[in-house]
Chains A and B, each alone.
Chain A
Amino acid sequence: MKKTKSRAKQMLLASTLAVVSWSGAVQAEDAPGMFRSEFLQGNMGWPEVTAKARAEGTVNFYYWGGSDIINLWIDQVATPALAAEGVTLNPVRITSTKDTVDVVIAELAAGRGEEEGSVDLVWVNGENFFSLKQQNALWGAFADRLPNSVNFEWDESDPRSLLNLRDFGVETGLQEMPWSGEQYVCSVNRAHVPVDQTPATFAQLKAYLEANPGKFTYVKPPHYLGNTFVQSVLYAHNPDGTGAAPYQKSFEELGGAELARLMEPGMEYLKSLEPLLLGGANGSPRYPENSDELDNLFLNSEVHFDCKFGVFANHNGLITGTYPEQAEEMIFPVGNMIKNKNYLTVPLNSPHPAAALVAINYFSSVGAQASKLQAAGMPVGLDLWRLNDEDAAEIAAAAPPHYGVTQQELDANIAPDTNASLVDVIEATWLAVIERKEDKPLADIVAQVSGELNN
């Protein structure tokens, strides 16, 4: 369904790029793609890759640039480290990964094929990876072929490999490398909420809000933070009591009617929550547009809770002054704290693929992961059980502290993400039911929005 959508969008870009690429294609004589096929067939040793990377010189790294501490880590740690390996990291800060995915797909549609694009490395997950994969815009199955691949579990028979091999339910096909593992964690302001009143379930949250109206809100879908909140509500209100399980299926497998049936109680809960949300008392509940706004509401005690992706979000909020002084993490919703990984991937037409691989190998190293964990508060993407004791100790020492909960408690309440093909439908349904207040049976709404998404 994504296919038709994005392909059409790129036609305009494509038509203009065609002219440019045609001249480019004529010039490229040294068989672009040689390196790709040789590397993917295992005919190329790592020293050859690093030599080619040094010859390529640069790697254009497209990443979400909205966090000061991540930007600093990239500029102050990653860039010099890669420079030492002879590769210049060119960080391109973007506000939306989707834009970069569009660029890649447009270039390919315009005939700018292997080694003729502009993007070498992208920080992605979920829908954006799904789009690239659907459009055959990925470079290849490189993830288990780098020296630092040993830090990750690739054995399918080990259930712990799931997050390395599935991204929002979509098979990664080793075409992306885990960079960081995140979990949806809520923080609570202890200045207002004593431990014994801290909600652990959605029913308790509602009870808390009935006593303290307006003191909660969530980021507005289609922002992924909002989508994730909605997903955890749906898991918890699954009428069959099977939680996240059915949401692992694709939309085609599940079917619209079944999805609507599963969603019904969760959507009812979200509707009933509206009057209790921030601003809901006077009829216009306020959904912040992104996490900056939510953090600000949390800091100013306009809300008592702040739910977002970030195992160390609480710590980061405290050290940047964006969280209230008494912010603590909480286990909420019990058993449904969605965990996923985000990844680094290389587009098919990366102009510097060897340099991209060297950069990914660096980002996957124990040293880089530890310093990113410590400086930017980004959890590691590698798998701790794959490390030797010394490396594991380095990671453990680098981890920022938790507040009010333990890592074990967080780990004990994990839920998987929703299948990427369902995410679109769920967010469109939210917009219809909650934002536009369409008063139709849920099955009709789901059928309608999934129909619109399909053409």
Chain B
Amino acid sequence: MIGTASKLRDIKAINPWQRLLVLAMAVFTIAPFAPLIIQSLAFRWAWPNILPTVWWFEQRQRSPFPLAWDYVFSPSSRVVEATINTLGIGITVTLLCLVICLPAARVLGQRTFRGKNQLEFLIALPLLLPEAAIGIALLMIFIALDLAGTYVGVIIVHLIPTIPYMARTLTSVYQGHGTDAEDHARVLGANRRQIFFRVTLPMILPGVIAGCLFTFLVSTNLFLLTFFIGQGHIVTLPTLLFAKISGGALDATGAGIALIASVPGVILLIFTDRFIRNYPLAE
């Protein structure tokens, strides 16, 4: 029997099993990227070789056309177009989503009214219905409205899965900070615009950034709705990759595109770690 004091000291310490679990999960998460990177650098890599028999850089001098990364970075791969589309749609969706959700989140976060719980459930509902159901049902309407296969259509449809996250995050931000500071400012004679930009916004900014990051993340990673509504005309990184792997095989250019499609996420991960950690996505 260990003394209570030493037990209490251990409360924040990790035990060996937990250490093993963390390590195993890190390996499970990261290890599959190794063959992906190798594949992207391979020219011929057949079973049972652990490494390619011919690498891309050995073959590239002999090859009459760009191979692997040379192709990925050539205009023919459409990677640049897909990247611009992905980022452009992501940013537009994020801004739209913010404009729609910010006012609503203030109401949800700071006011009490009848039916508020039901309303919050309604906002979460798009997360709870299968994406395929939403996508196919909407495709019908969008074809009728001539929105299928257009940027506008894709951006609108991206709002459905992103709004719940944005609304949720912003609501919890408003809940957290109360109305005292605004009340003071109002007493001191600030007008509504001044209050919002000088008082409210700086206070809620970290939360707003977190919400925007989630929204951007969800939008850039969205495949199904882009694929259904974009009808193949709007190429984003996830749909470009899908076209490469839908056959159930991955060649060097496919692996290269998969790595490129991971880059925005990795950048976000590095630079935004602290914002994302403090806000739960679901609740």
List residues 91-123 of chain A with CB under 8 A from any CB of chain B: 93-95, 99
**Among candidates B42, B78, B145, residue contacting A16 with C-beta atoms closer than 8 Å:** B145
Contact B247 A293 (CB under 8 A): yes
Contact A95 B71 (CB under 8 A): no
B25 at the interface (CB under 8 A from A): no
- Chain A residues with Cβ under 8 A from B143's Cβ? 12-13, 16
Contact B247 A289 (CB under 8 A): yes
Contact A288 B248 (CB under 8 A): yes
**Among candidates A95, A288, A293, A321, residue contacting B44 with C-beta atoms closer than 8 Å:** A321
A242 at the interface (CB under 8 A from B): no
Task: Kindly name the residue among A20, A93, A292 whose own CB sees the greatest number of chain B CB atoms within 10 A.
Answer: A292
B117 at the interface (CB under 8 A from A): no
Nearest Cβ in chain A — how far from B153, in angstroms?
Answer: 13
**Among candidates B66, B231, B249, residue contacting A292 with C-beta atoms closer than 8 Å:** B249
Q: How distant is the Cα of A95 from the Cα of B71 in the complex, in angstroms?
A: 19
- Chain A residues with Cβ under 8 A from B53's Cβ? 325
B75 at the interface (CB under 8 A from A): yes
Q: How distant is the Cα of A346 from the Cα of B44 in the complex, in angstroms?
A: 39
A50 at the interface (CB under 8 A from B): no
Task: Kindly name the residue among A72, A289, A299, A321 whose own CB sees the greatest number of chain B CB atoms within 10 A.
Answer: A321
Of the listed stretches B57-65, B89-97, B163-171, chain A binds: B57-65
Contact B75 A289 (CB under 8 A): no
Chain B 134-151 per-residue mask, 1 if CB under 8 angstroms from chain A, else 0: 000000100111100000
- Chain A residues with Cβ under 8 A from B77's Cβ? 68, 71
Nearest Cβ in chain B — how far from A397, in angstroms?
Answer: 15
Contact A94 B232 (CB under 8 A): yes
Contact A321 B65 (CB under 8 A): no
Contact A295 B249 (CB under 8 A): yes
Chain B 34-60 per-residue mask, 1 if CB under 8 angstroms from chain A, else 0: 000000001111110000011000010
Q: Which residue of A lies closest to B244 (CB)?
A: A292
B76 at the interface (CB under 8 A from A): yes
Q: How distant is the Cα of A300 from the Cα of B39 in the complex, in angstroms?
A: 14
Nearest Cβ in chain A — how far from B246, in angstroms?
Answer: 8
Contact B252 A321 (CB under 8 A): yes
Known: A296-B249, A375-B65. A72 touches B44 (CB 8 A): no
**Among candidates B46, B66, B76, B144, residue contacting A324 with C-beta atoms closer than 8 Å:** B46
A15 at the interface (CB under 8 A from B): yes
B263 at the interface (CB under 8 A from A): no
- Chain A residues with Cβ under 8 A from B145's Cβ? 16
Q: How distant is the Cα of A299 from the Cα of B71 in the complex, in angstroms?
A: 21
Contact B76 A72 (CB under 8 A): yes
A413 at the interface (CB under 8 A from B): no
Contact B251 A71 (CB under 8 A): no
Q: How distant is the Cα of A15 from the Cα of B140 in the complex, in angstroms?
A: 12
**Among candidates B46, B67, B78, B243, residue contacting A320 with C-beta atoms closer than 8 Å:** B67
- Chain B residues with Cβ under 8 A from A295's Cβ? 249
- Chain A residues with Cβ under 8 A from B64's Cβ? 319, 375
A6 at the interface (CB under 8 A from B): no
Contact A68 B232 (CB under 8 A): no
**Among candidates A16, A76, A292, residue contacting B247 with C-beta atoms closer than 8 Å:** A292
Nearest Cβ in chain A — how far from B191, in angstroms?
Answer: 46
A290 at the interface (CB under 8 A from B): yes
Nearest Cβ in chain B — how far from A19, in angstroms?
Answer: 8
Contact A76 B44 (CB under 8 A): no
B194 at the interface (CB under 8 A from A): no
Offer 30 A-B interface pairs, CB within 8 angstroms, sorted by A.
Answer: A12-B140, A15-B144, A16-B143, A17-B146, A68-B71, A68-B76, A68-B77, A71-B76, A71-B77, A72-B71, A72-B74, A72-B76, A76-B76, A291-B247, A292-B247, A296-B248, A299-B47, A301-B47, A302-B47, A319-B63, A321-B42, A321-B43, A321-B44, A321-B45, A321-B59, A321-B67, A321-B252, A322-B251, A324-B46, A325-B46
Interface of A toward B, CB cutoff 8 Å: 12-13, 15-17, 20, 66, 68-69, 71-72, 75-76, 93-95, 99, 288-293, 295-296, 299-302, 319-322, 324-325, 375
Report the 3 A-B pairs with minimum CB-CB distance, sorted nearest first.
Answer: A292-B247, A296-B249, A300-B47
* Known contacts A292-B251, A293-B247, A321-B42, then 11 further A-B pairs from the complex at CB < 8 Å, ordered by chain A residue: A16-B146, A72-B74, A93-B78, A99-B231, A289-B246, A289-B247, A292-B247, A295-B249, A300-B46, A321-B45, A324-B46
